[in-house]
Amino acid sequence: MFVARLSHPVDFEGWRGFARRFAQALVAPSAIDWRVGDHEGGLFGEDLVEGGEGRALSVPRAFIALAQEVICHSDPARFDLLYRLLWRLQEEKELLQIASDHDVHRAAALARAVRRDMHKMTAFVRFREVDDGDGGEAFVAWFEPEHHILEKVAPFFVERFTTMRWTILTPRGTLLWDGRELKLGEAATRAQAPTSDAMEEWWRTYYASIFNPARLKPKAMKAEMPVKYWRNLPEAELISPLIADATRRTQEMIMSAPTSPQKRRPAASTPDPAAPDLSAIESWEEAASAARSCRRCDLWCDATQTVFGEGPRSAPVVFVGEQPGDQEDLAGTPFVGPAGKVFDRAMAEAGLDRTQAYVTNAVKHFKFQLRGKRRIHEKPNAGEVKACRFWLDLELGFVKPQLVVALGATALKALTGHAGSLASARGRELALPDGTPLLATVHPSYLLRLPDEQAKESETKRFITDLKHVGSLAPGLRLPRAA
């Protein structure tokens, strides 16, 4: 029996070197004992002379790609399987095409399991913020991969979280990124990982706000988010109560009155005899009152009410969103629905006091399409944005903020006419025509719509960073402890 000693569980080059020597020396698969680490005993593969009795070896390129995935599997028999395939491929050139072959089938299954594990790691790693000891920010996550995937999956995290300093601890090793260099460290234990930080609450709020009880499919959900990952996911503790409550909430949704529009009223072109004289508006209060009977475009016809801005008249910062949503339309107050919750949470994370900000929208009426009983948000068109600019100008004129923040592309377009992408304006210190400083960032509902958990996490962090930028330009908005 020959012993082939590999230096670590994914020592592909080591395996390849041994496999080449064994195959050339015609050592049959059953005569090799593949081991990882320093083991004693046996006739070592290293003793075989390179080139040995020499037969020319050839394998298809697809085999190398397959082997590089299979070697990451935790099955101890994987080295043996791969060598058997390599051995057989010397005679059976089309072997990899025979999906029903036992070895080919097994190798494909192992490769699939590795890819799945990598996918789960990219989706379910949750970073927790820690103090790095130098007063800086660092992030640590704990994850339990089933296979030896760390090196393979590392580029994903480096690319996604390039600007953060992070560590991913796992029982199979540690990935450390200091912002410049990736290091692979020792295996870790769960006790080394922090258990909670402020982001936990964020994840829970976010998850609860996107959970739709009427669409609950526990089986599909568990397939996508297997239960074994739950203990490391801050949002997971909500799953059972939300599932338990889903039937009641669905029933409640069915029974509750639809949030349907009022009956269509006369066309907007009909002048309202009771319309106030807009040219005589002299205060914010008069503006808010006059806006209640606005007929500057047709959106008033279907909306429940005008949703004017809200916040202190002396606010240092005015945040401008797009238009009220379903819940804002019913409440008459901006940013109180799911996007508002995301906004509140991010403000708090950034150390900003929402109650000290003036929050409004580019358009003051809810525009929607009715689908069944549901009112689905519809983007306001350029004419509607332009018509409503009148109110936004009044709000800005009465509040006179030190800084205006555009939340999303519609707000940016309304404020500046900027026709380029939001991305090109984001992060830059811009200004309104009257010189008031302006920043642009994403709309909080963009974070709610992102389908991928990792993207959500990184985009949320970027949004919070943008809000911290707001706080640096307008310190009056900072919460006392952050000031």
Amino acid in position 212: N
Q: Taking CB under 6 A as the rule, does residue 309 contact ligand URA?
A: no
Q: Which stretch binds ligand URA (CB under 6 A): 54-62, 228-236, 321-329, 394-402?
A: 321-329
Q: Taking CB under 6 A as the rule, does residue 323 contact ligand URA?
A: yes
Name which of 111, 91, 90 is nearest 99 in CA terms: 111
**What is the separation of C-alpha 283 from the centre of its chain, rounded to a whole number of angstroms?**
42
Q: Which stretch binds ligand URA (CB under 6 A): 278-286, 316-324, 380-388, 395-403?
A: 316-324
Distance CA 52, CA 297 (A): 86
Interface residue with ligand URA, options 361, 416, 441, 460 (CB under 6 A): 361
Residue burial 420-458, b: 16+ Cβ < 10 Å; e: rest = eebeebbeeebeeeeebbbbbbbbbbbbbeeeebbebbb
Give the nearest distance from C-beta 306 to ligand URA in angstroms.
Answer: 12
Give the nearest distance from C-beta 377 to ligand URA in angstroms.
Answer: 8
Interface residue with ligand URA, options 9, 173, 334, 380 (CB under 6 A): 334
Q: Taking CB under 6 A as the rule, does residue 368 contact ligand URA?
A: no
Interface residue with ligand URA, options 9, 45, 311, 337 (CB under 6 A): 337
Interface residue with ligand URA, options 321, 380, 401, 471 (CB under 6 A): 321
Give 234 or 337: the residue with its C-beta nearer to ligand URA.
337
Give the nearest distance from C-beta 348 to ligand URA in angstroms.
Answer: 18
Q: Taking CB under 6 A as the rule, does residue 142 contact ligand URA?
A: no
Q: Which stretch binds ligand URA (CB under 6 A): 117-125, 232-240, 328-336, 425-433?
A: 328-336
Q: Taking CB under 6 A as the rule, does residue 311 contact ligand URA?
A: no
Residue burial 385-414, b: 16+ Cβ < 10 Å; e: rest = bbbbbbbbebbbebbebebbbbbbbbbbbb
Which uninterrupted H or E stretch holds 401?
A: none
Q: Taking CB under 6 A as the rule, does residue 235 contact ligand URA?
A: no
Q: Taking CB under 6 A as the rule, does residue 358 contact ligand URA?
A: no
**What is the separation of C-alpha 335 from the centre of its chain, rounded to a whole number of angstroms?**
21
Give the nearest distance from C-beta 442 to ligand URA in angstroms.
Answer: 11
Give 361 or 416: the residue with its C-beta nearer to ligand URA.
361
Give the nearest distance from C-beta 83 to ligand URA in angstroms.
Answer: 60
Distance CA 316, CA 404 (A): 9
| Window 152 to 171, contacts with ligand URA (CB under 6 A) | none
Distance CA 41, CA 39 (A): 7
DSSP symbol at 264: P
> Long-range contacts: 34-39, Cβ < 8 Å, 24+?
34/4, 34/6, 34/79, 34/80, 34/83, 35/3, 35/4, 35/5, 35/6, 36/5, 36/6, 36/7, 36/8, 36/9, 36/11, 37/5, 37/6, 37/7, 37/8, 38/5, 39/3, 39/5
Strands 358-361 and 368-371: unpaired
Distance CA 1, CA 47 (A): 12
Q: Taking CB under 6 A as the rule, does residue 328 contact ligand URA?
A: yes
Q: Taking CB under 6 A as the rule, does residue 339 contact ligand URA?
A: yes
Q: Which residue's CB atom is positioned nearest to ligand URA?
A: 321
Which positions touch ligand URA (CB under 6 A)?
321-325, 328, 334-335, 337, 339-340, 361, 443, 445
